[in-house]
């Protein structure tokens, strides 16, 4: 009886420790994901769809490799958690490096056409820059109240970007502004997207 009470007590403490480690991993993933989303919103990255596919393939391979190497000593969900943490840490490191090495001395100012916009669930604009399509969050409340709902025909986007010296495919967004198109010779003037 006494032995059973002691073993039950140790099992409960072990379960509490497992729960605590699980909670720590969950919170770590949430924090890393929030940092990743924040950095992703402040950069234009000139990646093709192949890079995204390659990135997810690497995560998948890490999961498979962990499951193969650790076999029964690791649960499948733990392999996915470890892979997610590695993936988010790697991308956050790349974004942090890009943020620290951005060239703030000379900004690139570009005017691009507004390809589309949305207001739900968050206000965002769709545009093309150097042949790549982007979707970025922008406050559209004042713009819609000023120009109406037909923003694509009336407005364009002004971008102010800073190049990242070490990573030429990264551009830091200083600001994105929705402005009214300027008229030149009875036609709207917009700069080329390329």
Q: pLDDT tens-digit profile of 99-134?
A: 999 888 888 899 998 888 887 788 888 888 888 888
Name the residue range of residue 137's domain.
Answer: 105-189
Residue 37 or residue 51, greater confidence: 37
pLDDT of residue 186: 41
Query: Is residue 53 in some structural domain?
Result: yes
Q: Is residue 30 part of a domain?
A: yes
Answer for the pair 161, 107: CB distance below 8 angstroms, yes or no. Answer: yes
Q: Is residue 194 part of a domain?
A: no
Specify the range with the lowest mean pLDDT, choosing from 91-95, 103-107, 149-153.
149-153
Lowest mean pLDDT among 20-29, 89-98, 124-133, 184-193: 184-193
Closest CA to 98 of 50, 33, 163, 190: 163
Q: Which of 48, 80, 100 is the last residue of a domain?
A: 100
pLDDT for 184 beyond 50: no
Give yes or no: residues 7 and 92 share one domain: yes
> Is 125 exposed, middle or buried, given 0-12, 13-18 or 19+ CB atoms closer than 10 A?
buried
Structure tokens that stand for 56 in this block: 């997810």
pTM: 0.71
DSSP state of 25: H
The rounded mean pLDDT for the chain is 79
Q: Which residue has the tokens 């820059």?
A: 129
Assess whether 7 and 95 both reside in one domain.
Answer: yes
End residue of a domain, out of 100, 118, 146:
100
Contact in structure between 169 and 95 (CB atoms under 8 Å):
no
22 versus 91: the higher-pLDDT residue is: 91
Same domain, 28 and 85: yes
CATH of the domain at 154: 2.40.50
């Amino acid at each position: 009886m006494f032995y059973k009470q002691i073993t039950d007590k140790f099992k409960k403490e072990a379960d509490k420790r497992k729960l605590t480690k699980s909670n720590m991993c969950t919170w770590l993933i949430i924090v890393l994901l929030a940092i990743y989303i924040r950095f992703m919103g402040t950069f234009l990255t000139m990646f093709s769809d192949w890079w995204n596919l390659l990135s997810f393939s690497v995560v998948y391979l890490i999961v498979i490799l962990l499951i193969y190497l650790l076999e029964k000593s690791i649960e499948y969900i733990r392999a996915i958690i470890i892979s997610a943490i590695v993936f988010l840490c790697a991308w956050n490191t790349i974004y942090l490096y890009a943020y620290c090495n951005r060239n703030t001395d000379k900004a690139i100012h570009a005017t691009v056409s507004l390809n589309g916009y949305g207001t739900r669930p968050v206000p965002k604009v769709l545009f093309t820059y150097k042949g790549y399509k982007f979707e970025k969050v922008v406050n559209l409340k004042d713009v819609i109240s000023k120009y109406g709902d037909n923003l694509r025909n009336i407005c364009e986007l002004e971008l102010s970007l800073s190049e990242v010296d070490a990573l030429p495919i990264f551009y830091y967004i200083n600001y994105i502004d929705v402005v009214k198109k300027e008229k030149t010779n009875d036609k709207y003037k917009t700069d080329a997207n390329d």
